[in-house]
Structure 1
Amino acid sequence: MSSSRVLKWLTGAFEIVLAIPFLGGALVIGSGYSALGLMFILHLITLILSSKNREPFYGSVVGILTSLIAWIPIVGWVMHLISGILLMVSAAQKPRNDHPTYPV
């Protein structure tokens, strides 16, 4: 499993935790909103590794957007849920082989 897929599972799980009503809000506010900054950095690293490995990176893009607007109460909850689901789905996808190997 590539490091980008591991990061997708990890960031997806973090996003799902942040989508839990009251708990996610308490984590974000209790950390002084630095949890959103940490998630932004993790999503950015995941995006770079995913694009380098030619894997889907739509979950990371949505995660970055979520990190930027998640301070809005209801919008943040919905965005955390959507980005968590998208990250989990993209992590579960089989990697595609762009260059099949043929026996010589």
Structure 2
Amino acid sequence: MKVSAALLWITGLAEAFLAIPFIGGGFVLSTGYGVLGVMFVLHAVTLFFCFREFSPKSGPILGLITSLLAWIPLVGWALHLITAIVLFVNAYVAGRTRAI
């Protein structure tokens, strides 16, 4: 499995967790929004590997945007949910393509 595909699955699972109503929001608030900074870095690392391994890039780019805007209550929930779905699709596609 390519590194980018594994990172896409990991970031997708993390975004899906953050999209759970009240639980994800409670986690974000309990960390003082620090988890959004961690997710920003994780999405940046994933994007680096996606460029390196020619994997889909829409998920990590959307993840970076989500990390910047997720402090807005309902917008954050919707962005986490959409980003998780896009990352799962990207991970599936990246896992199906053969490494060069």
Q: TM-score, normalised by structure 1?
A: 0.91
Superposed CA RMSD = 1.2
Residue identity over aligned pairs, in percent, reads: 47
Counterparts of 1:43 and 1:21 in 2: how far apart (Å)? Answer: 22
Counterparts of 1:14 and 1:21 in 2: how far apart (Å)? Answer: 14
Equivalent position SS for 2:11: helix
**Which is bigger in relative contact order (C-alpha 8 A, separation at least 6)?**
2
1:42-99 Cα shifts (integer Å, max 9, x gaps): 00000010011111110000000000000000000000000000000010112157x7
Match of 2:97 in 1: 95
Between Structure 1 and Structure 2, the one with more helix by share is 2
Match of 2:13 in 1: 13
Which portions of structure 1, spanning 4 or more consecutive aligned residues, are displaced by more than 2 angstroms? none
Give the number of equivalent residue pairs: 98
In structure 1, list runs of 5 or more residues that go unmatched.
Answer: 100-104
After superposition, where does 1:1-104 map in structure 2 within 5 Å? 1-93=1-93, 94-95=96-97
